[in-house]
Amino acid sequence: MNAKSLHTKIIKEEAYRLGFSSVGIAKADFLSEEAFGLEKWLKKGYHGQMSYLKNHFDKRLDPRLLVENAKSVISLSFNYYPEKEQVENTYKFARYAYGKDYHKVLKKKGKSLIRFIQDKIAEVNMRFFVDSAPIMERAWAVKSGLGWIGKNGLLLQRKAGSYFFLAELIIDLELEYDNSFRTNHCGQCTKCIDACPTQAILKNGVLDASKCISYLTIELKESIPETFKNQYEEWVFGCDICQEVCPWNSFSLPHKEVNFEVSNQLLSNTKNDWENLTQIEFQNIFKDSAVKRTTFKGLKRNIDFLKPENFLK
């Protein structure tokens, strides 16, 4: 086995040992095919008030601008599908936010992977990213052979659905590259498009993020437009509707990550509990959670928007 093959083998083995669900590697290069689509998407204003998505346009398309002399992009997925669900008839949180903040959990694992490479291979230049840099992570996941991009804009895998996080390790090391994933297995299915209550998933498979419930409950900092009254279900942080109806998620299996275990209070709280939530309770329930991103004030805004008495206004 030559050095490139050996390095590839041990890196993938260590990533799996750390708990990552799938690992693929692509050559670090300019994303020429994605450039036009990204520019068009931004010009259409589908990013809403997420102005940061317009920043660092070139870096989003070329990982070599993020890591000098980058040779490889290692794409990784990490399962977060929960074993337990919230009670019925309550305000809902996206499943990815059930446990501890995934940024912190996966970055810790990324640091471990970096130390492993430094110890076993060499002190090469590399950086680990988890939803925290201008990287077109789904495009790189496809190029690394991890899956295909579904009509809802999420990466899909035949044996795992879409309930997983993505992360990337951009590294100045030549490795063996996996074949790009060429087949889209969505076929004629339009379940995600049909189920989206705000019509954020367009017919051509493009996501208008400015209409997405996840955007409205997390990214939007001002009042939620009245036009969305009665248009979406009881989601107060994120949304899983397009994932819930996706046939490929019938293959999702519960994760085994202790840091993603959900608190009993989040699972059992009723609508009345959430409507009467105090700031202290918010801090206790979401101490290490990604939900803190929306702040107590933001969560209360989302809940107030969905209160039954407000539907008559």
How would you write the pLDDT of the chain (313 residues) with one tens digit per residue? 899 999 999 999 999 999 999 999 999 999 999 999 999 999 999 998 898 888 889 999 999 999 999 999 999 999 999 999 999 999 999 999 999 999 999 999 999 999 999 999 999 999 999 987 899 999 999 999 999 999 999 999 999 999 999 999 999 999 999 999 999 999 999 999 999 999 999 977 789 999 999 999 999 999 999 999 888 889 999 999 999 999 999 999 999 999 999 999 999 999 999 999 999 999 999 999 999 999 999 999 999 999 866 544 4
Catalytic residues: 131
Cα(first)–Cα(last) distance of the chain, in Å?
70
What is the distance between the alpha carbons of residues 133 and 131, in angstroms, rounded to a whole number?
6
Contact of 234 with 90, CB cutoff 8 Å: yes
- Which residues are CB-neighbours of 284 under 8 A, at least 6 positions away? none
Phi, psi angle pair for 229, to nearest 5°:
-60, 135
Per-residue burial over 214-243, b = 16 or more CB atoms within 10 Å of its CB, e = otherwise: bbbbbbbeeebeeeeeeebeebbbbbbbbb
Beta bridge partners of 237: 93
What is the distance between the alpha carbons of residues 126 and 77, in angstroms, rounded to a whole number?
18
User: Model-level pTM greater than 0.85?
Assistant: yes
Phi, psi angle pair for 156, to nearest 5°:
-120, 145
Contact of 30 with 201, CB cutoff 8 Å: no
Instruction: Give the model's pLDDT for residue 145.
Output: 98
What is the distance between the alpha carbons of residues 63 and 134, in angstroms, rounded to a whole number?
9
Instruction: Give the model's pLDDT for residue 65.
Output: 96
What is the distance between the alpha carbons of residues 256 and 269, in angstroms, rounded to a whole number?
24
Domains in the chain, number: 1
Q: In terms of residue numbers, what domain contains 130?
A: 1-313
Instruction: Give the model's pLDDT for residue 309.
Output: 61
Instruction: Give the model's pLDDT for residue 310.
Output: 58
Instruction: Give the model's pLDDT for residue 313.
Output: 45
